Chain A
Amino acid sequence: MQCDQCEERAVYNELGKTYCKNHFLSYFEKKVEKTIKKYSLIQKNDKVCVATSGGKDSLAALYTTMLYCNEYKIPFFALAIDEGIAAYRDHTLKDLKTFCDKYNIQFRVISFKKAFGKTLDEVQNKAITVLNKKPCTVCGIFRRTLLNRSARELGATKLVTGHNLDDESQSFLMNLLKGNMRHNAALGPVSGLSENEKFITRVKPLYHMTERETRLFCVLRKFEVNFNECPNIHLSFRANVRDVLNEIENKSPGAKHGMINAFLEILPELKKKYREERKEFQYCKKCNDPCAGDICNACKQEAELCKEVV
């Protein structure tokens, strides 16, 4: 099959678009730039921190953010969290270092071990057996906290994440199935519900790109990426939702785009409703980060999982 735009061989054929390598790369980069501009994800006075893992999504986000920031002379850097997942994160961090060296990007690595005293592997059994918490729940709370805290300490005003259309449609459906519309109100190209000087605004330049497009971009750009799944993914609710959505997409192409476009229509109303219902912030008595109670979730979790009982 031939590209829509030229006579080259096509490598992409989805939803009525057929592109060769060069036209696909151009389509991907232009669509990300359009997303950044449409939702004002990055502005000229920002200092941008790109949350990276070395996986395909974050490398694509880092590369496209780099293109945008270089074009508009906006400072940016990469930040990685090392959760301490053996035979997984060490590979992706190595790929990330190679990538940042190649493009001359400043990057920092912050570890669970240093911040909380233990790796995810070290607390996983206790999380499952004693607290009945899945590793992904534990990891999510620590990662979000550490990303926000580190980005803030490093002077960032925006935190870019590699979340794509698949991630967002999975999150939307997961929250819907759990009956948690408040969590859905916190989704969108600009994440979160609450404005507070201690929260760095999270933004998603890959919001309208699918997981498949993102990997194709990485393959065609020849990024050296470790494509292994996190070993804990099979324990997550997300993996079930992901499989169901992929089955639906296979039978009804465009379903994920349709779901997210419909979600974006109701999102402003959702954010308005849940912002109005939100109580005043309190500040964690341990770390002083904004939270809903006396102690934030990360400090609670740290006390439950990381402190030795004497």
Chain B
Amino acid sequence: MKVFIEKENKEIEHPTACTGLELLQKLNINPNTVLLMKNDEIVLAEDLLPEDAIVAILSVVSGG
């Protein structure tokens, strides 16, 4: 699956299907600091992300 990490403004490829939580753990991202989108729709961290999904990890931290 293609994974866009907003905070780092970069896209990576993840080879296998997994849950959102598993993906965040692999990327060492705290689930409290992000929202997950699958194919432009908000999903929960426990939802399955299939191999062909387009995923975005949105940072909830902004400002200054």
Between-chain CB contacts (< 8 Å), 18 pairs: A1-B44, A1-B46, A55-B62, A57-B63, A85-B64, A136-B64, A139-B64, A211-B61, A215-B58, A216-B35, A219-B42, A227-B58, A228-B62, A229-B63, A230-B63, A242-B61, A246-B32, A246-B33
Give which listed residue, B6, B44, B63, contacts A53 with CB less than 8 A: B63
Docked Cα-Cα span, A85 to B63, in Å, equals 12
Q: Are A10 and B58 in contact (CB under 8 A)?
A: no
A13 proximal to B (CB < 8 A): yes
A129 proximal to B (CB < 8 A): no
Docked Cα-Cα span, A136 to B6, in Å, equals 23
Residues 32-61 of B, flagged 1 when their CB comes within 8 A of A and 0 if not, give 110101000111101100000000001111
Contacts A219-B37, A233-B64 aside, 8 further interface pairs with beta carbons under 8 A come to A21-B42, A56-B62, A56-B63, A219-B58, A227-B6, A229-B61, A230-B63, A250-B31
B30 proximal to A (CB < 8 A): yes
- Chain A contacts with B in 64-95, Cβ cutoff 8 A: 85, 88
Docked Cα-Cα span, A139 to B44, in Å, equals 37
Residues 236-252 of A, flagged 1 when their CB comes within 8 A of B and 0 if not, give 10000010001101100
A212 proximal to B (CB < 8 A): yes
Q: List residues of chain A with CB within 8 A of the CB of B64.
A: 85, 88, 136, 139, 229-233, 236
Q: List residues of chain B with CB within 8 A of the CB of A55.
A: 62-63
Q: Are A11 and B58 in contact (CB under 8 A)?
A: no
Q: List residues of chain A with CB within 8 A of the CB of B61.
A: 211, 229, 242
**How many chain-A residues does the 8 Å CB contact rule pick out?**
35
Interface residues on chain B, size class: 20 to 34
Q: List residues of chain A with CB within 8 A of the CB of B59.
A: 227, 229
Q: List residues of chain A with CB within 8 A of the CB of B30.
A: 246-247, 250
Q: List residues of chain B with CB within 8 A of the CB of A212.
A: 32-33, 35, 60
Q: Are A11 and B33 in contact (CB under 8 A)?
A: no
Specify the chain A residue showing the minimal Cβ separation from B45. A13
- Chain A contacts with B in 124-156, Cβ cutoff 8 A: 136, 139
Min CB gap B19→A, angstroms: 12
Q: List residues of chain B with CB within 8 A of the CB of A21.
A: 42
Docked Cα-Cα span, A27 to B25, in Å, equals 29
Specify the chain A residue showing the minimal Cβ separation from B41. A11
Q: Are B63 and A215 in contact (CB under 8 A)?
A: no
A264 proximal to B (CB < 8 A): no
Min CB gap A119→B, angstroms: 14
Docked Cα-Cα span, A231 to B58, in Å, equals 18
Min CB gap A125→B, angstroms: 18
Most buried by A among B7, B47, B59, B63: B63
